[in-house]
Amino acid sequence: MKRLVIIFFLFSFSSCISQSNIDSGYLGVSKNILHNLLKPICGTLVVDTGTVSGYLLSWAQESTIFYDSATHNTKIYFTAGRDSLATTAYVERLWLTTTSDFISYSTPIPVLGMGLNGTTPANRRINSSFVCKIGNTYYCLALNGYSTIGFEGNVYGYTSTDGINWVDHGIKINKSTAWSYALSGFGNTGVCTDEFNKPVVIGGKYQAFEDVWNGSAWVIFRATADSLMGNWTLTDSLATLNTSGIPLGGGCAIYKNGKYYAFSFTNILPSKLGFAYSSDFINWTVKEFPYLDNSCNPYTTGPTAQIADEFLSQINGKVYQTAEYTNGNPPYPSQIRIWTYSATFQDMLEQLF
């Protein structure tokens, strides 16, 4: 997730956020630590910066991974796109790569955005995406460009019957009406799912993490809706989902055995990945921070380094995590990589608690 022109604002904002309880950290004490469970430590390459289908895959980020029983393969959706190194044109689209063995991956193809495959209008961007499948229908929630760099900043909804061609359902999270006062725009949407990336309904509601740009800083909210393609509203500011006063955002949320687990990243550079848990999706305890940092970043380990947008899913008895590395500067070279825990999500939790 690109975090532009915000690094200085966040330091002043974070000082007023309460410190959450950190259960154990990178070098903390627990039964085990997530840092040691996910292998290999630097991940393995899935998508690399390069020219594909006439577009430069800079800003390859915000991946969603799940097994698709209809096609008997694993789908990895992500957002990326730019005309070329010589232009700053934002042509971000939703892309798809698939794998049957987690060794080789298909050539990425663009499937949604900028008028492609059902998107209207032609200048609508797709970024900060979440994708899932329920029954025979694929669902996507995605941002129409960051308001921090001059774009609309609302979240739109889309459905598909084949994962390639989509139907536009309009605005689903509206910055003017989703909260008690108008907001400047949004970032990542992370719908709460089970370990197989199936959205869960708790108390009659879907729930999600929503990154919010409040005009000076990124903060994290809880959003709820009656249906995935319904109108989402923000219900709670998640002040405890932070470490040392710095918000964790863009989270992957998984519900299991009556508890919520968040896999999130810091909203300042250099970004790092954190792991937290909650009994109500509102009050969070950070269990481990960081569990992955920029030690393996191929572009830089300096102040603009990013590892972000982690997403976890159990596939064929193993847990897979995707995330991307980038250097945080134009032209945003990036790599999406994958990490593996060779047992179930339940077993992973038993190792961590």
- What's residue 57's pLDDT? 83
Query: What six digits make up the tokens of 268?
Result: 């300042």
Query: What six digits make up the tokens of 276?
Result: 């937290």
Residue closest to 34 by CA, chosen among 291, 347, 313, 335: 291
Cis peptide before 270 (omega within 30 of 0): yes
Tens of pLDDT along the chain (353 residues) come to 655 433 333 333 333 333 344 554 444 444 689 999 999 999 999 999 888 877 778 889 999 999 999 999 999 999 997 755 555 677 899 999 999 999 999 999 999 999 999 999 999 999 999 999 999 999 999 999 999 988 999 999 999 999 999 999 999 999 999 999 999 999 999 999 999 999 999 999 999 999 999 888 999 999 999 999 999 999 999 999 999 888 899 889 999 999 999 999 998 899 999 999 999 999 999 999 999 999 999 999 999 999 999 999 999 999 999 999 999 887 788 999 999 999 999 999 999 99
- What's residue 87's pLDDT? 58
Half-sphere exposure of 129 (CA within 13 A, CB side): 30
How would CATH label the architecture of 7-352? 5 Propeller (2.115)
The pTM for the full model equals 0.92
Listed in sequence order, the residues at least 6 apart from 347 whose beta carbon sits closer than 8 Å to its beta carbon are: none
Angle at 252 between CA 235 and CA 126, to 5 degrees: 85
Query: Is the alpha carbon torsion for 24, 29, 31, 35 positive or negative?
Result: positive
Residues facing 121 on adjacent strands: none
- What's residue 50's pLDDT? 83
- Domains in the chain: boundaries: 7-352
The rounded Cα 45 to chain-centroid distance in angstroms is 18
DSSP-assigned letter for residue 86:
T
